[in-house]
Amino acid sequence: QVQLQESGPGLVKPSETLSLTCTVSGDSISSYYWSWIRQSPGRGLEWIGYVYYSGTTNYNPSLKSRVTMSVDTSKNQFSLILTSVTAVDTAVYYCAAGAPGGSCSVCDNWFDPWGQGTLVTVSS
């Protein structure tokens, strides 16, 4: 069964770049569209975007200008980069499996499973 594990710095300075990686085990990176979701007390659960191993991406319009997602097939990992962070970006960041791999007209989906989450704090 698929298992996901987030990794990356827990503290990022304002105006700098947040970078997280999710390692997939138990299945191929080509099996799903992979999403990043974050959760904070002020904004609740917020979908950030998804990436497919082919390079296809779809981002939340509210974050699109600051987000880049990519896949490293050799490591069975996918990554999130969020630039120009502020305190509002402080949250628990989750990676999750979404739509099954393959062609889809609308690749949005329920999420299962999720990683355990990693807290990222934006502070100087």
Partner 1 sequence: DIQMTQSPSTLSASVGDRVTITCRASQSIASWLAWYQQKPGKAPRLLIYKASSLQSGVPLRFSGSGSGTEFTLTISSLQPDDFATYYCQQYTGYSTFGQGTKVEIK
Q: Which residues bind to partner 1, rule: CB under 8 A?
A: 35, 37, 44-47, 58, 60-62, 94, 96, 106, 108-117
| Residue 118 amino acid letter | T
Q: How far is the CB of 42 from partner 1 (least distance, A)?
A: 11
Q: How far is the CB of 9 from partner 1 (least distance, A)?
A: 20
In the complex with partner 1, which residue's Cβ is closer, 74 or 110? Answer: 110
In the complex with partner 1, which residue's Cβ is closer, 72 or 112? Answer: 112
Cα angle for residues 51, 56, 58 (degrees, 5° grid): 65
Q: How far is the CB of 78 from partner 1 (least distance, A)?
A: 17
In the complex with partner 1, which residue's Cβ is closer, 57 or 76? Answer: 57
Q: Please report how many Cα atoms fall inside a 13 Å half-sphere around the Cα of residue 106, on the Cβ side.
A: 3
How far apart CA 24 and CA 76 sit, in angstroms, is: 6
- Give residues with Cβ within 8 angstroms of 92, minimum separation 6: 38, 39, 40, 117, 118, 119, 120
Q: How far is the CB of 75 from partner 1 (least distance, A)?
A: 22
